[in-house]
Amino acid sequence: MYNTNFKEQVASETLRLVSRFTLILTPVVITGLAQGFRHGFHENDYTFLVAGSLISIVCALGYGMVAVSRSFGNPKALWMYVAIWAGILPYLFSLYLFLFRGIWGFVNILGEFSAVSLISAISFTLIGYISLKRYAEITKLSKSVHQLALRESWWESLQGLNG
């Protein structure tokens, strides 16, 4: 379907984008683990931070692999549908980091100010925003490859009618 160079480019770009997404969520995993062991995982939402980050990374990898699979011309498979539907989870988790842990953290500072709360609100706002942008790049790549695959299959079917 596509030449080898294109397939390799899609695979390497997917790896690069998923790595960048993973890198931005790594501090959230470390913070969640450190605070969970320090205060107990039942406190606050440390378990959610760790689990949400790890699940988001796995879902982002699966979503990126859909683009790679499409570039290799593989037919649609059940795992692709699961990966596409699970692709909403990284968006939701990034929104949680940005809105609830970040922006809402600024609102909570108005009631009781502390430097730690301010640093936490700033950090989660930035991490949430950057993770949203990074995941949007993965989505854009996957959609672009999908559009190319649709265009290619349409062209092949049209040539089959004329040939």
pLDDT tens across 49-91, in order? 999 999 999 999 999 999 888 888 777 889 999 999 999 999 9
Please enumerate in sequence order all residues whose Cβ is within 8 A of that of 93, keeping only pairs 6 or more positions apart, or say none.
52, 53, 55, 56, 131
Per the domain annotation, does 162 fall within a domain?
A: no
Please state, in angstroms and as integers, the Cα–Cα distance from residue 92 to each residue in 47, 62, 98, 129, following that order: 16, 16, 10, 12
Per the domain annotation, does 163 fall within a domain?
A: no
Per the domain annotation, does 93 fall within a domain?
A: yes
pLDDT tens across 30-49, in order? 999 999 999 888 877 899 99
Per the domain annotation, does 57 fall within a domain?
A: yes
**Total number of domains in the chain:** 1
Per the domain annotation, does 83 fall within a domain?
A: yes
What torsion, rounded to 10 degrees, do the Cα atoms 120, 126, 129, 134 define? -120
Cβ 48 vs Cβ 29: under 8 Å: no
Return left, alpha or beta for 74; rule: phi > 0 is left, psi -120 to 50 is alpha, else beta. beta
Which DSSP state fits 101? I
- Pairwise CA distance, residues 18 & 134, whole Å: 8
Per the domain annotation, does 51 fall within a domain?
A: yes
Q: What is the pTM of this model?
A: 0.85
- 44: which 2 tokens? 């606050």
Per the domain annotation, does 27 fall within a domain?
A: yes
**For residue 23, what are the domain limits?**
4-157
